[in-house]
Structure 1
Amino acid sequence: MAVNMPENPDTASRPRFGRLRDWAIGGSLLAGLVVAVQFTVGWGPLLAPWRDLSPWLLAWLFLLTALSYALRAVRVSDYFSPRFAGQFPVMLRLTILHNTANNLLPMRTGELVFPWLMRRYFGHGLLDAAASLVWIRLLDLHFLALIAILILNLSHPSGWWWMLAALWLAGLAILAVIAGLGNASILVGEGRVRTIVRGVLLAAPRNPWLIARVYFWTAWIWGLKFAAFTSLLKFFLPIDVWRLLAGVMGAELSSVLPFHGIAGSGSYELAAVAALVPLGVDPKLALAGAVNLHLFLLGSTLILGGLAFLLPKTANAADNGFSHDVR
């Protein structure tokens, strides 16, 4: 059952995209990256391999990335089903713009765009949307952990990794149990913290079939993205697949760092290099590969973000019902 939680109307009109300190840190990371590349690899040699990259391969990898973005909209639509039935083009615009902001704004302030656009396009409660995003991100992390198990199995094959993966997947059943705590008597009462906790719990999917579907979309989203990014990174950094996967994993997990540069610059590369160097990859080659991978990400982000503005932003009021639903 979804709960539209109370919110302050004075702060609901627009999100705050980071403080001045966040932009200062992000700008410092960006400047540091530019200087580090120039004095270690050189921007000319770093960018030179792009001339030999097949345009058809680049188009294919971009298509896989775009499809992963589209599936994010499918996942969110399914998560809130049937509330936003018939509104997929608007949801696609919302999801792409959310991910564009996530990839461009410093210190993860792009996450604020999701609840803001949910309110702007659908009149959805800010805190309810934010709480739902928390659960979606937890499912993302759960699947990334599954990819980490795959990497370990590729590096040191063993049947134990398959058993661990099966147990990890079985742990999804705990989600339905946790969601049920939202209706527990211990959380009934007044108080802002208790209200927020209860709202977060009630925003969780508790229907096993819905959990399975949302996780299915999550698997496809990350599967396509890792396939595209690993293929591109291999062009710039010809090493074993499991090392490439580890590099992409490190880059994607840069979002959990306490600092995050403008457009992820600096933090994205640092996380990728930190994952690759301990695996025996030369630091300069790792940095060059990480920067080129990031350039592909930013290019895809800007193209898809621009195209998103061509999609409708007005939801059909007749289909935009807000009756409580059982997730």
Structure 2
Amino acid sequence: MKRLLALLLSLALLAWLASDGRWRALGDSLGRFSPGLIGLALAGFALSYALRALRVSDEFRSDTGGRYLTCLRIVLVHNAMVNLVPFRGGEAAFPLLLRQHFGTSLPRAIASLFWFRLQDAFVVAALTAAVWPGLPAAWRVAGIVLLVGLALWLPRWARAPHRWHQGSAIAARLGRLRDAFADSTRHARLGWLWTVANWSVKLSTQAYVLAQLLPASLATGAAGALGAELAAILPVQGVAGFGTYEAGAAAAMLPSGIALEQGLQAALALHLFVIASAVLAGVLAWMAGLARPETDPNRTSKTP
């Protein structure tokens, strides 16, 4: 059912584009990508990728042996796969690549990926509370305090002693998942720093690009970028995010006076650019890995 809804969302966006010559309006939006804007956006995305690679290198430092460039290739290929493979199937690339290059066990890699995504959600939500236009100051403070408190409490809860293993088969399985999650929260020394830095750069870049495409103020672009990323948390996603990304961005910009159609067109142009950048970076990283295959005789698989 979720896959059917995802397909319907993407088809709805395609049908909307096909009606009333909206393809031409999309072409106008894409035409606003000047060489300077493209260069700035690519620089911002490159910095975001570099920060994500630092996050992976820090989390798996006992496995990577300081091979930062390999971590960067993993991040780029994983990011491209997430954008290309429908229904979030590309997420599987991350643990598989870690096992291939560093011998990291799949349970360890999967638990860390889950923790990464939780950190992403906390940071995006906190940034939303901090910069969302028109939000009362008391609500901003309350939202940020609540999110920070929950983010600090969750790992402590996971690490606390429990007796889930002594229960039913389902409880025992949940206990193993809790233990794997608890273990994943212990490794990164600067995980929150890399996460905040990455999202600050990524959202700032998208906000600026969106503001230039509309055109509108940077605050309006920030609202659209946050709306698009918050839509990614929804349980139902369009194929490659098409439909939900654009709807989230356009809805978030409505209070700023941006018409729904205008917001959808600008968000779609940005989304296409983001995907093209991710795929290009992933292909280049994959080709670099083929050109310089790793030959580390000391690496042994940790997978049982």
TM-score interval (norm. to shorter): 0.7 to 0.9
CA contact (8 A) 2:99 2:105 kept: yes
Report matched runs for 1:198-209 at 5 Å.
Answer: 198-204=176-182, 205-207=184-186
Report how far residue 136 of structure 1 moved. Answer: 0.9
Query: Residue 275 of structure 2: SS of its match in structure 1?
Result: helix
Query: Residue 238 of structure 1: SS of its match in structure 2?
Result: coil
Q: Can you list the C-alpha shifts for 1:39-78, whole angstroms capped at 9, x where unaligned?
A: 2561112222433432022111111112211211210111
Hey, what does 1:257 align to over in structure 2? 234
Hey, what does 1:143 align to over in structure 2? 123
Give yes or no for the alignment of 1:310 onto 2:287. yes
Distance in 2 (CA, whole Å) between partners of 1:168 and 1:94 is: 29
Hey, what does 2:270 align to over in structure 1? 293
Distance in 1 (CA, whole Å) between partners of 2:8 and 2:62 is: 45
2:175 pairs, out of 197, 213, 222, with 197
Report how far residue 280 of structure 1 moved. Answer: 4.0
TM-align CA RMSD:
2.9
Distance in 1 (CA, whole Å) between partners of 2:159 and 2:192 is: 19
Give yes or no for the alignment of 1:230 onto 2:229. no
The structure showing larger relative contact order (alpha-carbon pairs under 8 Å, at least 6 residues apart) is 1
Aligned residues: 298
**CA 1:193–1:226 in structure 2 vs 1: closer, same or farther (change >3 Å)?**
same
TM-score, scaled to structure 1: 0.79
* 2:212 alignment partner AA: F
Hey, what does 2:81 align to over in structure 1? 101
Distance in 2 (CA, whole Å) between partners of 1:167 and 1:28 is: 35
2:223 pairs, out of 228, 246, 259, with 246
Hey, what does 1:128 align to over in structure 2? 108
Give yes or no for the alignment of 1:174 onto 2:153. yes
TM-score, scaled to structure 2: 0.84
Give the share of equivalent positions with the same residue, in percent: 30
CA contact (8 A) 1:87 1:315 kept: no
Hey, what does 1:59 align to over in structure 2? 39
CA contact (8 A) 1:122 1:315 kept: no
**Structure 2, unaligned stretches of length 5 or more?**
none
Hey, what does 2:140 align to over in structure 1? 161
**Structure 1, unaligned stretches of length 5 or more?**
1-18
Q: Can you list the C-alpha shifts for 1:201-223, whole angstroms capped at 9, x where unaligned?
A: 3443555xx66610100011111
Q: Can you list the C-alpha shifts for 1:243-299, whole angstroms capped at 9, x where unaligned?
A: 322221221233333333332222322222333335543111111111111111111
* 1:125 alignment partner AA: S
Distance in 2 (CA, whole Å) between partners of 1:54 and 1:100 is: 24
* 1:254 alignment partner AA: A
Query: Residue 82 of structure 1: SS of its match in structure 2?
Result: helix
